[in-house]
Chain A
Amino acid sequence: AQKITQTQPGMFVQEKEAVTLDCTYDTSDQSYGLFWYKQPSSGEMIFLIYQGSYDEQNATEGRYSLNFQKARKSANLVISASQLGDSAMYFCAMREGSRSGNTPLVFGKGTRLSVIA
């Protein structure tokens, strides 16, 4: 079963507008962490934001915020005031907490965001 689902293969947004990238996840663990990474055309993976399953507040990092709805198992990334440099692939990922140690991330298939001037 797919653990991370990103249903939007591609998204367009006008510069300076806000955009929401969807992510739903599947886990039976009570303890887990959710991550968003950005992959520009140059190929590197850039960490953006983290949300823990027990965090009461939605995570924010500058123009990035995470709309975490635990009951719906969704962790959508919101980018405010989009910039041309935000054009990239965006990956949602999860780490489950049932195993000890620093476990690997499971990634979604990604969403390609294009910001239009």
Chain B
Amino acid sequence: DAGVIQSPRHEVTEMGQEVTLRCKPISGHDYLFWYRQTMMRGLELLIYFNNNVPIDDSGMPEDRFSAKMPNASFSTLKIQPSEPRDSAVYFCASSQPGTGLRNEQFFGPGTRLTVL
């Protein structure tokens, strides 16, 4: 089975432009997480979904960030307008149904975003 798929793998854009990051979770997984990794703050949760419904978006930095999950196989994270401080690696992760603590999160390869 394919793992979590993210696109693009690398994105370079100019300040003020709109950026859309995409994620396809593993089939059958009903939890989807967006994380951001920076040198200063490490890995931090932005938002997560269960059955396509956002559960916790308290990690979304500000109104410039938005995330959607229109169906079980696709999610987007949009930044509009982008700023240089948004430069980071953005990870999508998914996990299978269940409430067990042991449920592993499977990470995608990440999207490295550079905002000039």
Contact = CB atoms under 8 A, between A and B. Distances in A.
A53 B100 CA distance: 12
A50 B103 CA distance: 9
B55 A43 contact: no
**Main secondary structure on A side of the interface with B:** loop
B99 A43 contact: no
Contact of B101 (A44, A97, A107, A108): A97
B70 interface: no
Nearest to B56: A104
Contact of A95 (B50, B56, B91, B101): B101
A100 interface: yes
B85 interface: no
Interface in B88-114: 89, 91, 93, 95, 97-110, 112
Interface in A14-71: 31-33, 35, 37, 43-45, 47, 50, 52-53
Interface in B44-95: 44-45, 48, 50, 55-56, 89, 91, 93, 95
Interface residues of B, number: 29
A101 B43 contact: no
B55 A101 contact: yes
Nearest 7 pairs of A and B residues by beta carbon? A33-B101, A45-B107, A107-B43, A104-B45, A109-B42, A102-B31, A102-B103
18 contacts: A31-B101, A32-B101, A43-B110, A44-B107, A44-B110, A45-B91, A47-B104, A50-B104, A52-B101, A97-B101, A100-B99, A101-B50, A101-B55, A102-B50, A102-B97, A102-B100, A104-B33, A105-B105
Interface of B: 31, 33, 42-45, 48, 50, 55-56, 89, 91, 93, 95, 97-110, 112
